[in-house]
Amino acid sequence: MLTPWGYSDYEENLAEGIDVYGTSGHGGYKLSKDRNNKIPENWRLKGLYNGWYEEDCGWAPICLTFPLYFSQDRIKRASLVIKDWEEWVKENV
């Protein structure tokens, strides 16, 4: 499968409409249109990355929007990632 980071080495279905892809250099999540529309507007990726969320920080909105599929540790980490991202946006955009 072609991802924004190249061809995938693996794919894992986390839940209906939530797939995880990895490439030799990077990876991330792909949301179905329905799942992506459930991501809060200020976190939702559109345009070129419509529904694709990278593994470094992009996973955090998915984790917080669909916490049922993540551990409590990941949910806590996602909250910190989102907070840092929102602070960066305020200071830099």
- pLDDT per position as a tens digit, 16-71: 999 999 999 999 999 999 999 999 988 887 776 889 999 988 899 999 999 999 99
> What is the total count of domains within the chain?
1
pLDDT the model gives residue 84:
86
**Entry pTM:** 0.87
Q: Report how far apart, in Å, the C-alpha atoms of 21 and of each of 7, 50, 86, 92 are.
A: 9, 15, 26, 30
d(CA 90, CA 9): 36
Range of the domain at 22: 2-92
Q: Within a 10 A sphere around the Cβ of 53, how many other Cβ atoms? A: 24
E strand segments, 9-77: 10-15, 18-22, 27-31, 52-54
Q: Are 26 and 54 in contact (CB under 8 A)?
A: yes
